[in-house]
Structure 1
Amino acid sequence: MKNLSIFGVLTLSLLLLTACSKESITPEAILEHGAITAKAGKKMSSEGFITPLFGLATAPNGDILVADGGAGIANATGTTNIPLLGVTDVAPIGTGSMWAITGAIGGPDGAVINTGQGLHRVSNGNSKLIADLFAFEEAHDPDGAGVDSNPFGLASLGGNAALVTDAGGNDLLQVDRQGNIKLLAIFPDEVVSTANLQALVGCPNPDFAFICDTPQLPAQAVPTTVVVGPDGYYYVGELKGFPAPADASNIWRISPNASGAACGTSADCMKLLDGGFTSIIDLAFGPDGKLYVAELDEQSWFAVEVLGTGVGGTISAIDIETLNIEEVATGIMGLTGITFGKDGSLWATTHSLNPSLAEVIKIAM
């Protein structure tokens, strides 16, 4: 069964477990099947975040750029400069130019369809679709789990190419400026514990008997983020799909020479860290050379998306040589993106699903 969620109620899973109806977390964005559906009658505004907020990036001039899925590419105060509905990440190239990706926008009854999942080139305030990533997934389905495309993580390789993690397709792609797509790596399912989900739903619980009686389940990787390391390798973080395990999100290290690498078995795509994180949502290398990891919530995405609870996300720093991990900040509600400013300051999104509270904040280090 294909992964159903990045930010979305796991409709099928919930129907199997509880026969509950779909529910949304915020009144301004209904998130289902990893898709963004604008609220009926809600007009896009150029002032103030519409939400959900996703990736952050820093422009060459120092501006903080925000992927506001409900509106487009915005600045840190919420002014939308480039309309692009469904944008999930942005990666600057130079002054006035950048790459951007758009994820899935909800189809009828949450169906996974081609709603514009793609890589875009943005120049002088205008965006142009470079590659149809849904069409690639539909033609190739690299992970063999059925057609599902939700581009979510993006990294620039300069003006000629970009890297994209497709969280629905469970793969890493390289796309050049002509729209040619190369499959770099495929991320595997892993059998994980259901203990976290059992704790969240309060087992024993007759409404969740299936979960309460099942100690382990296979989970899809759901790669949410990619960055280029100082060593030239590509680093990818996982959200981990249903059953939303704790401490099971991996970080992968991929060779820039990888081609169709089966992660975990190919030497071109091996784990930097085997688990240890919960619901990784973003990565960024800091000026100190460390890899900074943003976890959506310490209780997992299920707590946030399905139960509407959670205790907040955490940002940690990893020395990629020694693998020493240091906690930088925790308890950040609605953490979905991080970036470093030109002055070395760390910025993060908070309350990213709530249009009345969403903002970009500086993290004290």
Structure 2
Amino acid sequence: MKNLSIYSILFLLFLFLVGCSKESVTPELPLSNEIVNGKAKAASLADTERFTTPLFGLATAPNGNILVADGGAGVANTTGTTTTPLPGITDIAPIGTGAMWAVTGAGEAGPTTNSGQGLHRISKGNRKLVADLFAFEEANDPDGQGVDSNPFGLASLGGNATLVTDAGGNDLLRIDNQGNIRVIALFPNEMVSTSNLQHLVGCPNPDFAFICNTPEMSAQAVPTSVVVGPDGYYYVGELKGFPAPAGESNIWRIAPNATGADCATSPDCMKLFDGGFTSIIDLTFSADGKLYVAELDEKSWFAVEVLGGGTGGTISAIDLTTLDVQVIATGIMGLTGITFGKDGSLWATTHALNPDLAEVIKIIM
């Protein structure tokens, strides 16, 4: 996202939470860690070390292990132990036992500077840089809005290639194991309502007159997540940039043979949902073919990062045949990633930005 990347947003929030960590904090989710019947109620998890944080993507290895992208450390397990050091990691996508793709996003220097944005391949604990994604953005700037790279989401296409969403570049990339990069799709800016932001800042408010007096603004897509559907199509979720609207994050369905598709006009890139979600942060499919959507916070990322509030994130399930949406769990503070285990269990991050509270929990449905 130009000028305000998702990594910058979450990094600043991480700093905010670290600064507040000396205060007495009562977790919104009790430490028994289980979310039951759609409400943040309790939790169940083995004894954990502390994650370095922030936590981002989750994935399930072929052997059933749940993998965690711990942005402060690298690939970790659910107990917080780092198995492969890779600071700056935002997502992981297993290839086989002991092998996976990993992506690193924009660091503290920001998305307009080369701070290690790249695609990596990890094999038995060893990692290799496959593609320098900042260099690609700098040389090509596919969306034409200025150099800005913040790779955030991954979906493996096997050992030969993977998909990457660049939240800063507003594009979906296909990268092979030789580092060759192809732009699959470009996500357009859209006019969105400022009503959510007006409510959050308390309009009328002279300090936010430019928001209070503007009913709509252009917002960048900020694609955060990608998953391959059972139909072979690629599904991409948006965060949606400033002014952080509520209910206007899209889900896109993209043909696997698409090349350079402009999602504003191309038939190869269609909206599965034209809005309806807020600040989408992750997607995953269940074994029965339902698309699960993780929203960072119902009040939007602005409520969390700028105002230090929010009401918690939501996980929903979409039936692709009927497009019916079922809410699975709500009120999950610091929700940034979801995955299904080999046994069908749904796992999620919670308090993902707070090193004192961050956990990976099982959602009881």
Where does residue 329 of structure 2 map in the other structure?
A: 329
Where does residue 352 of structure 1 map in the other structure?
A: 352
The alignment status of 1:26 with 2:28, answered yes or no, reads: no
Q: Is the 8 A contact 1:7 1:305 kept in 2?
A: no
d(CA) in 1 for partners of 2:10 and 2:348? Answer: 26
Where does residue 203 of structure 1 map in the other structure?
A: 203
Q: Is the 8 A contact 1:152 1:165 kept in 2?
A: yes
Where does residue 343 of structure 1 map in the other structure?
A: 343
The alignment status of 1:305 with 2:305, answered yes or no, reads: yes
d(CA) in 1 for partners of 2:9 and 2:186? Answer: 25
Where does residue 133 of structure 2 map in the other structure?
A: 133
User: Secondary structure at 1:25's aligned position in 2?
Assistant: helix
CA RMSD of aligned residues (A): 1.9
For residue 4 of structure 1, report the CA deviation from its aligned partner: 1.3
Where does residue 103 of structure 2 map in the other structure?
A: 101
Q: Which amino acid aligns with 2:192?
A: V
d(CA) in 1 for partners of 2:3 and 2:171? Answer: 12
For residue 321 of structure 1, report the CA deviation from its aligned partner: 1.6
Where does residue 217 of structure 1 map in the other structure?
A: 217
Where does residue 35 of structure 1 map in the other structure?
A: none
Deviations 1:308-332 (A, max 9, x none): 1000000000011211111000000
Where does residue 88 of structure 1 map in the other structure?
A: 90
User: Secondary structure at 1:264's aligned position in 2?
Assistant: coil
Q: Is the 8 A contact 1:3 1:222 kept in 2?
A: no
d(CA) in 1 for partners of 2:333 and 2:300? Answer: 12
Q: Decide whether aligned partners of structure 1 residues 285 and 84 sit closer, same or farther in structure 2, where only a CA change above 3 A counts.
A: same
Where does residue 120 of structure 1 map in the other structure?
A: 120
Where does residue 176 of structure 1 map in the other structure?
A: 176
Structure 1 segments unaligned to the other structure (5+ residues): 12-20, 30-45
For residue 2 of structure 1, report the CA deviation from its aligned partner: 2.0
Q: Which amino acid aligns with 1:209?
A: A
User: Secondary structure at 1:155's aligned position in 2?
Assistant: strand
d(CA) in 2 for partners of 1:162 and 1:330? Answer: 31
d(CA) in 1 for partners of 2:234 and 2:337? Answer: 18
Q: Decide whether aligned partners of structure 1 residues 329 and 22 sit closer, same or farther in structure 2, where only a CA change above 3 A counts.
A: closer
Q: Decide whether aligned partners of structure 1 residues 221 and 316 sit closer, same or farther in structure 2, where only a CA change above 3 A counts.
A: same
For residue 28 of structure 1, report the CA deviation from its aligned partner: 7.2
Where does residue 281 of structure 1 map in the other structure?
A: 281
Structure 2 segments unaligned to the other structure (5+ residues): 21-47
Q: Which amino acid aligns with 1:67?
A: A
Deviations 1:5-59 (A, max 9, x none): 2143499xxxxxxxxx999422279xxxxxxxxxxxxxxxx95201000000000
d(CA) in 2 for partners of 1:84 and 1:304? Answer: 26
Where does residue 74 of structure 2 map in the other structure?
A: 72
Deviations 1:330-365 (A, max 9, x none): 000000000000000000000000000000000011
Q: Is the 8 A contact 2:111 2:168 kept in 1?
A: no
Q: Decide whether aligned partners of structure 1 residues 65 and 126 sit closer, same or farther in structure 2, where only a CA change above 3 A counts.
A: same
Q: Is the 8 A contact 2:5 2:111 kept in 1?
A: no
Q: Which amino acid aligns with 1:27?
A: V
Where does residue 60 of structure 1 map in the other structure?
A: 62
Where does residue 151 of structure 2 map in the other structure?
A: 151
User: Secondary structure at 2:8's aligned position in 1?
Assistant: coil
The alignment status of 1:48 with 2:39, answered yes or no, reads: no
Q: Is the 8 A contact 1:28 1:354 kept in 2?
A: no
Q: Decide whether aligned partners of structure 1 residues 351 and 10 sit closer, same or farther in structure 2, where only a CA change above 3 A counts.
A: closer
For residue 64 of structure 1, report the CA deviation from its aligned partner: 0.4
Q: Decide whether aligned partners of structure 1 residues 330 and 54 sit closer, same or farther in structure 2, where only a CA change above 3 A counts.
A: same
Aligned pair count? 338
For residue 207 of structure 1, report the CA deviation from its aligned partner: 1.1
1:232-247 correspondence runs (5 A):
232-247=232-247
Instruction: Return the structure number with greater relative CO, CA threshold 8 A, min gap 6.
Output: 2
User: Secondary structure at 2:139's aligned position in 1?
Assistant: helix
Q: Is the 8 A contact 1:58 1:65 kept in 2?
A: yes
Q: Is the 8 A contact 2:14 2:54 kept in 1?
A: no
1:179-198 correspondence runs (5 A):
179-198=179-198
> What is the TM-score normalised by the length of structure 2?
0.90
d(CA) in 2 for partners of 1:154 and 1:7? Answer: 15
Q: Decide whether aligned partners of structure 1 residues 124 and 59 sit closer, same or farther in structure 2, where only a CA change above 3 A counts.
A: same
Where does residue 16 of structure 1 map in the other structure?
A: none
Where does residue 30 of structure 2 map in the other structure?
A: none
d(CA) in 2 for partners of 1:175 and 1:64? Answer: 24
User: Secondary structure at 1:259's aligned position in 2?
Assistant: coil
Q: Decide whether aligned partners of structure 1 residues 24 and 216 sit closer, same or farther in structure 2, where only a CA change above 3 A counts.
A: farther
d(CA) in 1 for partners of 2:15 and 2:9? Answer: 7
Q: Is the 8 A contact 1:10 1:306 kept in 2?
A: no
d(CA) in 1 for partners of 2:287 and 2:329? Answer: 17
Deviations 1:93-137 (A, max 9, x none): 000000000001122xx4721111010000010111000000110
Q: Which amino acid aligns with 2:278?
A: T
d(CA) in 1 for partners of 2:210 and 2:196? Answer: 14
User: Secondary structure at 1:26's aligned position in 2?
Assistant: helix
Where does residue 5 of structure 2 map in the other structure?
A: 5
Deviations 1:269-300 (A, max 9, x none): 11011000000000000112100000000000
